[in-house]
């Protein structure tokens, strides 16, 4: 669903665990995305929210935290932040107040996921890509992130993805 929205130029801008719903559709489980209330068109020049911080801070991209324009990779980042919380049991970023939280999102990386459990070294690389500070360093598609997470959890992450994640971890070290 996220990939399809991105192909149409729609950016959700507020993906959170509460906006994802696992539904049973004709006997198959399928993820549904809810609440497109602050969605935008990536090519939009509208000014309603331009220059303003929009979304739930815990899952917000660095560019959102700065009030900059976003594209479909903002939703990929949010999915990586949700994955981080799913794997570690903690949000990637948290602070005593909104300004300190936004500062962390823009300038720091969270704790290394492998600090929370065994056999998560490959997840470190995947989430380094998913939570990259620059949109161009992130996955292009949600299904790429999902496939990489599955492979990493199975201990079978593609060498090139692992190397890409390692490069990003050197550029932006985990806290």
Residues in CB range of 68: below 8 A, 6 or more apart: none
* Residues involved in catalysis: 14
The helix (run of H) or strand (run of E) holding residue 174 is none
Using CA atoms, how far residue 168 sits from 7, 42, 75, 173, 174, in Å, is 26, 25, 19, 8, 10
Q: How far is CA 89 from the centre of its chain?
A: 16
Residues in CB range of 75: below 8 A, 6 or more apart: 2, 5, 6, 11, 12, 13, 15, 142
């Amino acid at each position: 669903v996220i990939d399809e929205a991105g192909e149409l130029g729609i950016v959700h801008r507020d993906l959170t665990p509460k906006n994802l719903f696992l539904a049973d559709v004709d006997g198959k489980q399928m993820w549904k995305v809810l609440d497109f209330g602050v969605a935008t068109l990536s090519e939009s020049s509208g000014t309603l929210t331009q220059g303003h911080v929009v979304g739930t801070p815990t899952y917000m991209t660095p560019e959102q935290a700065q009030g900059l324009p976003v594209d479909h990779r903002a939703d990929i980042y949010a999915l990586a932040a949700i994955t981080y919380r799913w794997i570690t049991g903690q949000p990637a970023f948290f602070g005593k107040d909104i300004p300190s939280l936004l500062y962390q999102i823009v300038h720091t990386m969270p704790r290394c996921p492998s600090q929370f459990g065994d056999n998560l070294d490959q997840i470190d690389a995947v989430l380094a890509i998913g939570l990259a500070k620059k949109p161009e360093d992130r996955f292009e598609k949600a299904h790429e992130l999902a496939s990489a997470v599955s492979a990493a959890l199975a201990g079978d992450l593609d060498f090139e993805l692992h190397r890409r994640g390692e490069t990003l971890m050197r550029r932006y070290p985990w806290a």
